[in-house]
Every structure is written in C-alpha cells, then in structure tokens.
Amino acid sequence: MASINFNKADFVLSAADKSQFIHDSRCRVVFAGRSNVGKSSVINRLLNRKNIARVSSEPGKTVHINYFLVDEKLYLIDLPGYGYAKVSAAEKMRWSDLMESFFAGEEIDAAVLIVDARHQPTKDDKMMAEWMMSAGCRFAVVANKTDKLKKSMIESNVSAIREFLEIAEDIPLIPFSAEMGYGREALISFIESAC
Ligand SMILES: Nc1nc2c(ncn2[C@@H]2O[C@H](COP(=O)(O)OP(=O)(O)OP(=O)(O)O)[C@@H](O)[C@H]2O)c(=O)[nH]1
Ligand SMILES: [Mg+2]
C-alpha cells in the first residue's frame, strides 16, 4: 500500500477477549514483545502522538489487545507484553488464552517483534520470533532503546540479536529509539510494503 498517513490515527478499542476482536478487510500489523520493552512507545512514535497507546513505567500494565486505526486503512495492534516475573499465574494464563485465541483465529498481514537493543533477547522472545516466522505473514524485528547504547555498540548488538533469534538476512531488523524517533522511517517502509 503506498503512502499511509500515520498522522491520522484513532484508538478503536481494547479487547479483553475474542468476542471483541475486529474482523474486516483492513490490513493488520501486530506488535509484540516483552513487558516494558516499549511496544506502546513505538506505536506512539509511529503515530507522532504522545500517549495514544498508554505508556507506563510499571511493566505488565497492558493486559488487553489494543487496536489503532491508521488513515482508515490499517490497524496497528498492540499485544499485551510477556515475561514480567511479578505477574500472577492467573494473569499469565489469561495472557496465553488471549494470545492463543488471537493467533489461532486472526488473519495478520505483518508482525513486528520488539526487543531491547541493549540485551540478548530472552527465550520468550525467541519463541515469539519462531511463532511469527511460521505465521506466514511479513515479519520484522525492532531493536528499541538504542538511545541507551553507545553508537559504536549498536551494530554489534543488532548482529548478536539477529544471530540469537536465528532470523534470515532478508528479514528487516530495525535499530530504533521510540524516545528519539530513530528508525521510524524504516519501520514505516516495512509496514507500507506489507499492507
Ligand atoms: N530510553 C528509552 N526509553 C524508552 C524507549 N521506549 C520506551 N521507553 C520507556 O520504557 C518504558 C516502557 O514503555 P512502554 O511503551 O509502556 O512499554 P510496553 O512494552 O508497551 O509495556 P507493557 O504495555 O507494560 O507491556 C517507559 O518508561 C518508556 O518511557 C526508548 O526508545 N528509549
Ligand atoms: Mg504497552
């Protein structure tokens, strides 16, 4: 899809179970990643908005699936984060049920895995990457929080992330900073090419 106006966006709904999932013919791009990695911040940066996707300094806050409609053409879908140790067993169960019904029933055009550029990805990240690669949709990885890294470290960290996740060379791995705006154009190109 050529030229999507990312400055034209609305929050649509927050789905707590599958009866609320949206089904229409628009393009769908999902964002997943560890709790607190910056999923909501990346979405805010893409949309040039301060807090359309709620950002929290406390991890584990987004337990719903949030839909944002962009330019009437596509949905950005903010999935709840995983891997936060202090979440109760019941909440973890709720997370898996919600994600399972989402990935089982929903058609997705593109999946974006967000990882922390400073660290080796976790086992959960690797599982999510494998899941997304087998889903048959376009796939990209965003290495967020590069503003917290020395410039000289970015390239080597990004290569280490690619190696750890075992993603092919043709899959985009985008160094990003939701804080500074770095990587926004590359992520927009990926989304436009997938939709
Ligand atoms: N320095 C820096 N901080 C960031 C960046 N992106 C996000 N943060 C901070 O990281 C924290 C978590 O950001 P969120 O966007 O709420 O993370 P999330 O992945 O949506 O978290 P959950 O919804 O709880 O899973 C906040 O304090 C953000 O300000 C970034 O690129 N650089
Ligand atoms: Mg969030």
According to the model, what pLDDT value does residue 61 have? 58
Span from the CA of 47 to the centroid of ligand 2 (angstroms)? 15
Ligand 1 atom nearest to 114, measured from its CA = 19
Span from the CA of 56 to the centroid of ligand 2 (angstroms)? 7
DSSP-assigned letters across all residues of 38-90: SHHHHHHHHTT-SSSSPP-SSTT---SEEEEEETTTEEEEEPPPB--TTS-HH
Nearest ligand to residue 147 Cα: 1
Percent of residues, the chain, with pLDDT higher than 70: 95
Looking at per-residue pLDDT, the higher value among 31 and 61 belongs to 31
According to the model, what pLDDT value does residue 58 have? 66
Flag the least confident range among 30-34, 116-120, 135-139: 135-139
- Each residue of 78-133: pLDDT tens digit? 998 888 777 788 888 888 888 888 988 888 999 999 999 999 999 999 999 998 99
Spatial separation of the C-alpha atoms in residues 171 and 10, rounded to whole Å? 29
Percent of residues, the chain, with pLDDT higher than 90: 72
Nearest Cα to Cα of residue 121 among 173, 170, 77:
173
Nearest ligand to residue 38 Cα: 1
Give the number of other Cβ atoms within 10 Å of residue 159's Cβ. 11
Nearest CA, atom 9, ligand 1? 38
According to the model, what pLDDT value does residue 115 have? 98
Give me the chain's average pLDDT, please: 92
Whether 135 shows a pLDDT value over 90: the answer reads no
Residues 6+ apart with CB under 8 A from 96: none
Question: In CATH, which superfamily holds the domain spanning 9-194?
Answer: P-loop containing nucleotide triphosphate hydrolases (3.40.50.300)
Looking at per-residue pLDDT, the higher value among 10 and 87 belongs to 10
For a mutational test of ligand 1's pocket, the pick from 42, 55, 87, i.e. the residue with the most ligand atoms closer than 8 A to its C-beta, is: 55
Q: What is the mean pLDDT of residues 28-56?
A: 92
According to the model, what pLDDT value does residue 59 have? 63
According to the model, what pLDDT value does residue 60 have? 59
Residues 6+ apart with CB under 8 A from 124: 34, 82, 83
Nearest ligand to residue 91 Cα: 1
> pTM of whole model > 0.75?
yes
Whether 40 shows a pLDDT value over 60: the answer reads yes
Query: Using 50, 70 and 90 to split pLDDT, how confident is the model at 54?
Result: confident
| Binding pocket residue ranges, ligand 1, CB within 6 Å | 33, 35-41, 55-57, 59-62, 81, 144-145, 147-148, 177-179
Span from the CA of 39 to the centroid of ligand 2 (angstroms)? 5
Ligand 1 atom nearest to 44, measured from its CA = 15
